[in-house]
Amino acid sequence: MAAAVVASAALTLLLPDTLRLGPRWALPLAEGLLLVALISGDPGRISRRSTVLRSMAIALVVVLAGSAIWSTVQLIDDLIHGGTETNSANALLLAGGSVWISTVLAFSLLYFELDSGGPATRAHHMPPTPALAFPQQLSPELNAAHWRPHYVDYLYLGFTNSTALSPTDVMPLAPWAKCVMTVQSLLSLMILGLVVARAVNVLA
């Protein structure tokens, strides 16, 4: 999780000013402060995460998701009205790729924190009906009664939902999961469709 937050902050620094929420330093600083608080308050003892730490973790991913949505909206606005980065295929692909990867990371962290009460709750027990059902939970023959999803499982979910634009091997069961996956697919569809179309037009 920490690596994903650091990667997201680094991608924010690569974005043009018009696609960034706030000053260049604001979002990475907020992410860094929250991440330091999480690590210092819960160093490797995820099963002992307190309510305050969980609230901070959710606040962190909400900031990341909000930033990704903001960047997507601004990128689409630039594509429609003509922004500085839309006149160069290289600049456009770099900006679009950064926004797309940031979206994957942000939503993967959102799934990680919200599914089945969060990582600390999952470490103790899995609910009978999780918000997101993985193949290990849907297939009795796998005998995965003690299996728990890790961040890499949610990262894979975020990636496949942004490329296939639909559920692949992970099924959303809770209404919030269906809504969040829908929003992510729509954002990804707009980024990939408009950015690639504009880049091809510029190159042509």
The pTM is what? Answer: 0.83
Strand partners, 146: none
Question: CB 155: neighbour CB atoms within 10 A?
Answer: 20
**60-104 confidence digits (pLDDT tens):** 888 888 888 888 888 888 777 776 766 777 777 888 888 889 899
Q: Could you give the angle at which helices 89-114 and 151-163 cross, rounded to 10 degrees?
A: 130
Question: Sign of torsion, CA 138 144 147 153?
Answer: negative
For tokens 């728990």, what's the residue? 148
pLDDT of residue 144: 66
- Tell me what the pLDDT averaged over the chain comes to: 79
Give the integer Cα–Cα distance in Å for 92 and 77: 13
Give the model's confidence band at 143: pLDDT under 50 very low, under 70 low, under 90 confident, else very high.
low
Give the model's confidence band at 153: pLDDT under 50 very low, under 70 low, under 90 confident, else very high.
very high
Average confidence (pLDDT) over 49-68: 79
Average confidence (pLDDT) over 26-30: 75
Where do the structural domains in the chain lie, given as residue ranges?
2-203
pLDDT greater at residue 47 or residue 98? 98
pLDDT greater at residue 126 or residue 151? 151
Question: At residue 4, does pLDDT exceed 60?
Answer: yes
- 170 vs 19, 60, 85, 156, CA distance in Å? 31, 24, 36, 9
**156-177 confidence digits (pLDDT tens):** 999 999 998 888 889 999 999 9
| R_g (Cα) of the chain, nearest Å | 18
Give the integer Cα–Cα distance in Å for 10 and 86: 22
pLDDT of residue 37: 64
